Structure 1
């Protein structure tokens, strides 16, 4: 039973003893709150059934329903006259259904461990108790963190120089959780381990690529990814960048190492970074000694000696943020999808959506949830994109038509490499909106009509097919067909020569 739930349960129980008989008028006053509690409970049960029927998105709805119940319970406790009986009954039933109800001692106190305060996402998961037990392994994990200086140093690093990075990783994970966590759940693995690996590997940026070529949110090398079902699909998309497929492959890899290394957490994490062969040899030669002994830990390369404690530290902070004064933001990540009403791109969507309640806007979220599309690549009308529910509403309001949609489209057509004919000098300012006059206008028109269009183009680093099409006034689909470039990502390579014959038509 998560400690937060225990403390809430205990507070409600205390309220019961102090409430006395409820006044009928007061009961009517709080009837809307009780109705909201019943509705949230019903949403939780419906999502639970959907999850059992294979709907992976139901996990987010269950979390949201429990979060609403907790908020309503806190409101009840703060208001005089609210009946805690109504609240505690609903809450207790849900907890018992999941086997998470608190144990009560003979003195009437809950058996919560005050040192095990956990993050909101873990507290809201029906698998929280099992996850905690898997990772703690009868408090062995606790002792390893409390008594192990490399892990302590990792916690210190996450809480100081890497705090902002950790919080960003947590936010990125929240939006992808409904895709990633079910893969770990099916494999019987703890969610905190998934987060710890992802935080250290990529910070939750699905398009991350290392200097060595490791790619995706969980940084698979191509060969290793191929062993676990990752690689280029029929469209040419590299599934190492897909958060769901990457989590599935990662879970398979971790379980394979667990079987090989007698479920030793540290050696398994070391294998993920430093190579399974090296980890297996060290484990076999250790003779049962601790991973942290000089004979084992001291033989690892510096990168792996840093990696293992940092992963464990991130997993620990995922479970115990309050213990360290770490506050993860409360965000609504309810998953949804929308169908594009017009051709667009991730960049254009980011502009027209605006911040819309998000600190950093929606670029990273859209990229992570729709990894097949490059930021500037055209995504055609009719395409279905994954997004949080809030973004769906923003899209309908701001991106299908109207001034924000037109502004975004105008900005996307702008080309930073073209200098306008009316470019002003400091001593001779020109109104860019004014028409060109006299000889200047004549020269500009003559230049525009007589300039011969190039027949081909050599791709430069950073180019996208959409930008090239705009620069040369080409139809994107025709340009792609002419050069046999497949969508939806329209991958290019520096130095590639493109034919521009279709642009002359």
Structure 2
């Protein structure tokens, strides 16, 4: 297996060197997938563990190299607000300054907002330039998805509510943005290394989990404030690092952001970071004055959550609850491979109102097949042959797995499972065996490495004797076909209501820049930002 993994990796390197980035990503994914799905505990095998670490580190190195040259192994995304603001010219407009000072007098904020020429320059850029205006409109609209969640976390930690606007500068409230220059990722732009209380492995990256990343952000910004005693310095430290800001304070004797700004004791990026956030807060709190009162924020994301300890694909989960893999990817942006991790607890988010339906239907599908199989809700007029063509499998395989006897009429069924096996999946033995003369359940069980009790249960037998020519299930068949159509109708209505509550709509996801497919950095994702200039460092 290690040879096969190395071959896939070397093919990826070759494609990478030739500029075929999508092909390279596919090769790298396949190399990692082989180890993750081999069925051998990687950590318990020194050779496999060493190979896994080698491959992951090598792929990450190539990814970072690609990021420094452009968009990495992913498609480009719209710039973050901070990246867009690099176009700002900061010409001081006395009118903008006067208007901002007037707005400040009536603006309520739990941060010490001020107006100066730099802040006014950002206000001018975000409200009067085409690029700046488009950026702030999209970001404030998208903020509706996460505002309630972020404010709850900030309140729980006893932090100012207006610290939410750091997410505007960092990502524009996009949970899967990756900074091209530094590799920082997620709504709060955490580095791929560092101790933030966020897990990261071959299956998921919690930097891209909006709630967990927000909790990590709250802990970090609170620690910055506890160390530095000033909110402007705490915000600057989020960009530059608390240690670096502390040393600047010690060198100058001034624990004041604006004094450090005037004395040029801060990096240029950090000097602009705090004024930008002040400007955004003022604009967001005075939408009418700045012509933004027509913005309709996206509806907050509301989900059901199930805890999995098995691997299930987002495609199968979407089939089961009547959603799409794209919508489920939006609800689970931390998943890197479009599937939940095996043998590890994971909180899978589903459209509101579908948890019970998911748990009932997933229980009917053997656990070891939930990563690749599909689920098809039968509609009026469906035939076995038509369904088989749709999923590119044989009608006989569908019939065997669903215990459909004779004919192609599916009118009496609520749903069928589809035994899809991708080329990367291990070849499974046939689900059916035709007994021969001399066979018994004991000999069949021994031949296929199953138990006699399993064979009896799968084939509804009470005796160990079987006649020649009997067709036996020698692996667990699916049990979803007997459900009533009335149940499906009720479940579909429940899902439709839940989805409306969740605000998971085409307009609310694709248009606002949310993730369109399952995985980060090239694994069918729509977001990986590209800028080599901004390099947030959250130490």
Normalised to the residue count of structure 1, the TM-score between the two structures is 0.44
Normalised to the residue count of structure 2, the TM-score between the two structures is 0.41
Structure 1 or 2: larger helix share? 1
Higher relative contact order (CA 8 A, sep 6+): 2
